[in-house]
Amino acid sequence: MTQTQHTSGPWTALEILDGIAIKDSRNVTIAYCDYATDADETEISEWETEANARLIAAAPDLFAALQSIVEMIDPYSLDKQGREARAKAERAIWKATPQRATDRPGDEAAVMHEETGIDYERCLIMCNMD
């Protein structure tokens, strides 16, 4: 399983005066979604702000679930569509985990291969799936 450095879950979304605070189990605020004000160049609705906060609060659970699913599925038993979906999941996990700096700019796939153990060819595909 990929080692993480983020704040452990569960996270909760709590409405406060002018937005929503995302708090960890110690009641420490780790993120904040504020409601739009007149000073904002682009306004988003309260509904959208609340949806963003719920998504952020669910992040540790979603991350752990995605890791479990990826680890359970044998990539060689999948059809093309399944392999592409698994590659997207691996890419999302990789984006959410700390990466080592490299002296090889542009060779993101090599770094990903070194740090995750995923086949280099699959890393090449994943690194071009944005």
The pLDDT value given to residue 4: 62
SS3 of residue 46 by DSSP: helix
Phi and psi dihedrals of 112, rounded to 5? -60, -45
The structure's pTM equals 0.68
Q: Residue 85 CB: number of other CB atoms within 10 A?
A: 14
Dihedral of CA 99/102/106/111: which sign? Answer: negative
The pLDDT value given to residue 52: 93
Residue keyed to tokens 């605020």: 29
Start-to-end CA distance of the chain, whole Å, equals 23
Pick the residue with more confidence: 41 or 53? 53
Residue pLDDT, tens place only, 25-44 = 999 999 999 887 777 777 78
Residue pLDDT, tens place only, 80-101 = 898 888 888 888 888 888 665 4
**pLDDT score of 130 more than 60:** no
Q: Are 86 and 34 in contact (CB under 8 A)?
A: no
H or E segment to which residue 56 belongs = helix 46-72
The pLDDT value given to residue 14: 93
Domains of the chain by residue range: 12-68, 77-127
**How much helix, strand and coil, in percent to the nearest 5, is found in the chain?**
50, 10, 40
